[in-house]
Copies of this chain bind each other. A is one copy, B any other.
C-alpha cells in the first residue's frame, strides 16, 4: 500500500504527476486550478525528480511548450480552466494532428466568457466533440474523486503514449477544490532511455531525420492521415471505454452522470430508492470514448435515461445518440456555476418521470 494523504484534487494531480515521473509541466494561473502549479512549485520537482516546471506567459505559450516537449518524447502536461482551455484550442488541434501524447487538465468553471469561477460541466462539447478545428478526438477522462484525480495522471499518460494522442482530464471546481483521502503509489522514475520512431532525439547517422508536423499540403495525403486518425479513434472506442454502474441491475431508470455530478447522483440513487424509485446510475469514466454500447444495451431493458450534468445539456446528446429513440431521454442540471444537490436531482428525476 502506498502513502495516504488528505489533499485537494488539484494537489493530488500535482503530486501524482511528480510520482508518475512526468517530465514537464507548463501552465498559467487560473482559478479554480492554480493549486496544481502552486503545489508543484512548493515541492520543487526539479529537485525531487528533475521534472521541469515553468510558468508560461500565457495558456497559448503553455500548450505550445507542451507540444515542444512532447515532440521529443517527453511526458509533458498542462492544466487550466475553461477560458484558458479555449485559448489552447489551436494547440490541442496541432497536438492531435501531429499525434503527440500529452496530458491536459481542465478544471472547468462556469461560462461562457469570463463567467464565474464556480464549478461547471459545460465544457463537455469542447472536450469530446473537438473545440479546435478539424476532425480530431481527445481521450477524455472524468475523475469523480480526489483519488481518481491522482490515478488518472498515470492512466492518462499511459493512454496518451499507447495511442500517441492527447488525453484530457475533464474535472471541475468541486473535484479540484475538495479534499479527500488519496493513496499514492511509489515514485516512478522518469524515463531516461527511450527512442520511438516518432520522437525527436537528434538525427544520428543510422537513421533519417525525423519530423513532427500536422501539415500536409497535399490533400490526398492529408486525407490519408485523417483516415489513419479515424482508424486509431475506432481502436480507442473499441478498447478504452470505461464506466461504472451503480444500482443498474434492477433499475427502471438510469441516470448518466460523470465527475462531480456522478458523486452527487450517488446520493440521489440512495434517496430515490428510499422513496421507492428503482433508479440506477451509469458513470462514464471515459467521456471519449463514450460508453454508447453499454447504454444502448441498457436501453433495451430500462424505461429511460436522465443525463445529469452541470450544463444546459451536452452529454445528453451522446446519451440520445446511444439510445437512438428506444426509450425516453432527459436532462437535468443546474449551471453557470451552481451545483445541484442530491435532493434537487431527485426532484429533477421525478419531473422527468412525469413527462
**A contacts, CB < 8 Å to B:** 60, 82-87, 89-90, 93-98, 108, 110-118, 120, 122-123, 125-126, 129-136, 213-220, 222-227, 229-230, 311-312, 314, 317, 320-321, 323-326, 334-339
Contact = CB atoms under 8 A, between A and B. Distances in A.
A113 B214 contact: yes
Contact of A226 (B108, B213, B335): B335
Nearest to A84: B90
B334 A324 contact: no
A129 B89 CA distance: 14
B222 A337 contact: yes
Given A115-B222, A337-B222, A338-B220, A122 B135 contact: yes
Contacts of A334: 223
Among A96, A218, A338, A339, the most chain B Cβ lie within 10 Å of the Cβ of A338
Contacts of A122: 133-135
Nearest to A98: B113
B223 A338 contact: yes
A281 B31 CA distance: 48
Nearest to A83: B90
Nearest to A106: B133
A113 B223 contact: no
Nearest to A226: B336
Nearest to A110: B222
Contacts of A110: 134, 219, 222-223, 226
A311 B229 CA distance: 12
10 contacts: A96-B112, A97-B113, A110-B219, A111-B133, A126-B131, A223-B334, A227-B336, A320-B321, A321-B321, A324-B325
Nearest to A132: B86
A55 to B, nearest CB: 19
A196 to B, nearest CB: 20
A82 B325 CA distance: 34
A211 to B, nearest CB: 12
A217 B117 contact: yes
Nearest to A133: B82
A259 to B, nearest CB: 15
